Structure 1
Amino acid sequence: MKDLTSALLRLLVCTLFKQCFHCLGLQMGQGLWRVARNQQLQHQGYAGQSYLSREHGRRIAANNVSNTNHRKNAQGGIDIYHLLKTRKSKEQEGFINLEMLPPELSFTILSYLNATDLCLASCVWQDLANDELLWQGLCKSTWGHCSIYNKNPPLGFSFRKLYMQLDEGSLTFNANPEEGVNYFMSKGILDDSPKEIAKFIFCTRTLNWKKLRIYLDERRDVLDDLVTLHNFRNQFLPNALREFFKHIHAPEERGEYLETLITKFSHRFCACNPDLMRDLGLSPDAVYVLCYSLILLSIDLTSPHVKNKMSKREFIRNTRRAAQNISEDFVGHLYDNIYLIGHVAA
């Protein structure tokens, strides 16, 4: 409600500014009209002041006839009269009325608005801006998965009301994750299932990542289902690790939770790339070692506190000590990726 009030105040201020600029524009238009009139008087073909004084009466009589021709053939090809006339007609037209357009075009225009602007638009075009398809699109573009999407809507269901509930639940989650999930369940938005909660988290980008990390650390069953939603097929190992840490943020310090994340990632990566693992002779344990090596290398190359950066030869030597079956070329490509692209868990 506070955001809507602020938006309405912004709209009122913009309207007042528009009226001020409108008055200023009229004054500028009158000034341009005087310039145009002076130009047409200066280019009438009269040579001297004495001639003007003798022919003053005839010049005024012929002025009305020459005005039209001069407006059509102003110097430099600029028809100031035409521009001012067009501007005035556009001012009289005002805003385009969306109700006069085809419905498909009106809905396409309104689909580019966010929730706040759509609420403001409903003050003018109530039937159009309150259409369920528009609010359904807003819900699914922000929260890609909810259990309620796959159910028969209850009596009195509204996607506009659902949007408000989803927004309220997200704010609650960012303050207290457990209360946020309970709110979604109480409203029938989410089912009490680790898989459904994992899908909701995977398809939502409005959740605070620090609160999400705390929640996943406590709900390992949700974490397991969240890991299985990732598909790392045919992805290079550092790139797959970056995608993984975009959805499941790594902790700031090493510990049991980081080890759990890397272990789950290693098994999922191997499950998605069985042919590659067989060709390279890699196992989940070997991928685990490589992931730790990539994280340490990322810190070494990107940290401003490390003056003596690890060389490519040192990285290959240290990595092959821990995983002897890995080829030097593959480890070298890993180093190049971190050197060129950056941290895997930034």
Structure 2
Amino acid sequence: RDGSGSQRRAPQHCYSPDIYHLLKTRRGKEQHGFIDLEMLPPELGITILSYLNATDLCLAGCVWQDLGNDEYLWQGLCKSTWGHCSIYNKRLPAGFSYRRLYLQLDEGSLTFNANPQEGISYFMSKGILVDHPKELAKFIFYTRRLNWKMLQIYLDERRDVLDELVTLHNFSNQFLPNALRDFFRHIHAPEERGEYLETLITKFSHRFCTCNPGLVRDLGLSPDAVYVLCYSLILLSIDLTSPHVKNKMSKREFIRNTRRAAHNVSEDFVGHLYDNIYLIGHVAA
């Protein structure tokens, strides 16, 4: 009882079932220690460690050496980061290690991002890549660790690799602005207009028409018409997204200007192009 004579009630802990379970689990860990992965079935331990990145897996290997150096885990990290390498399709030599391969791929990528030619030479010296345009294009297409500015320099010098890289894209049944976004997601557009950008759009236009023969037939499109539409989409993207442009281009103006250069393209189709940029945004962002 307190001084007023009323009875003081003991504090009540109103935990939800989830919080209660969490507290109970934590108390259990404090009493018994954390679970040793080596005490679990190997398949379960490997599954748990498969969620780690390379750095954390190396740290885990300091505690659970056998699990942390498991080839299955390092193979998964290699192929999820560098989706295609020539060495994946070769007969692996005795003593081959995917952990060592990961470190070589990481080193080669860092080298490429400083000097593209030296990076590719490093990959070839380690037997990771073969000097064939299609193999190099696949490596670039399925890799996200290469700096886009260095990649632009490399592709500008190796047009044979660029040609193969373009053919890896499948634009079937894609709306033109979405296909262009997908293209620039793999092959970044240069910051300034020039010969390289013209080359990219020319190659894209031919590839888009090749992938969509029905659309070409029904809408009367051609590589030249797609080329014009691509430039119109890029200019419209800048116009609608740039804060420096105060007077935005209207849909009517876009249709009129575009059809002056691409006479055979229908007004409805050009209008849908405008709507896509207005709603989704820049094609080369």
Question: Normalising to structure 2: TM-score of the pair?
Answer: 0.92
Select which of 78, 98, 120 maps to 1:181: 120
Q: Give the aligned residue type for 1:340.
A: L
Superposition pairs for residues 158-307 of structure 1, below 5 Å? Answer: 158-307=97-246
User: Which residue pairs with 2:36 in the alignment?
Assistant: 97
Q: Deviations over 1:223-243 (max 9, x none)?
A: 000000000000000000000
2: distance between equivalents of 1:172 and 1:236? 37
Change (3 A) 1:87 1:345: closer
How many residue pairs get aligned? The number is 275
Confirm or deny that 1:149 pairs with 2:88.
yes
TM-aligned CA deviation for residue 85 of structure 1: 9.2
Partner SS, residue 283 of structure 2: coil
Greater relative contact order (Cα 8 A, min sep 6): structure 1 or 2? 2
Cα distance between partner residues in 2 of 1:86 and 1:227: 53
Q: Deviations over 1:297-318 (max 9, x none)?
A: 1111111111111111111111
Alignment partners' CA distance in 1, 2:226 and 2:255: 15
Identity rate of aligned residues, in percent? 85
Q: 1:188-230: CA deviations, max 9, x gaps?
A: 0000101100000000001000110111111100000000000
Which position in structure 2 is the counterpart of 1:59?
none
Per the TM alignment, residue 76 of structure 1 is displaced from its structure 2 partner at its CA by 3.5
Q: CA deviation at 1:88?
A: 5.3
In structure 2, stretches of 5+ residues that fail to align are 16-21
| Distance in 2 of aligned mates of 1:230 and 1:208 | 20
Between structure 1 and structure 2, the one with the greater Rg is 1
Q: Aligned equivalents of 1:291 and 1:271: distance in 2?
A: 16
Q: In structure 1, what is the Cα distance between the partners aligned to 2:240 and 2:23?
A: 62
Q: Equivalents in 1 of 2:216, 2:175: separation in Å?
A: 12
Q: Which runs of 4+ in 1 moved over 4 A?
A: 83-89
Determine the C-alpha separation between the residues in 1 that align with 2:57 and 2:191: 39
What residue in structure 1 maps to residue 264 of structure 2? Answer: 325
Note the residue ranges of structure 1 that are not aligned, 5 or more in a row. Answer: 1-41, 49-73
- State the one-letter code of the partner of 2:226: V
Letter in structure 2 aligned against 1:226: L
Distance change in 2, residues 1:157/1:281 (3 Å) = same
Return the letter of the residue paired with 1:242: R
Shift in CA distance, 148/299, structure 1 to aligned 2, threshold 3 Å: same
Which stretch shows the higher mean deviation, 296-305 or 326-335?
296-305
